[in-house]
Amino acid sequence: MKKLLVLSVLTLLCACQHRANFKSANVIKPHLDAEITAEPEEQKVEIELQRFVYFDFNSAELSQQSKLVLDSHIEAMKMIKQGKIVLQGHTDQVGGEEFNHGLAKQRATSVWVYLVKSGISEEHLVAVSMGKGDENRKGADPKTDRHVEIMY
| CATH code for the domain of 57 | 3.30.1330.60
Domain assignment present for residue 17? The answer is: no
Is residue 4 a part of any domain in this protein? no
- Model confidence at 148: pLDDT above 90: yes
Q: Which domain holds residue 59?
A: 52-151
65 occurs within a structural domain: yes
Q: What share of the chain is helix, strand, coil (3-state, %, to 5)?
A: 45, 10, 45
Q: Can you give the pTM of this predicted structure?
A: 0.67
Contacts (Cβ under 8 Å, ≥6 apart) of 150:
49, 51, 52, 53, 73, 85, 86, 87, 111
pLDDT in tens, 80-109: 888 999 999 999 988 899 999 999 999 999
Residue 79 CA to chain centroid, in angstroms?
A: 7
Mean pLDDT (the chain) is 79
Count of structural domains within the chain? 1
Please say whether the beta carbons of 91 and 145 come within 8 A.
yes
Do the domain assignments include residue 40?
no
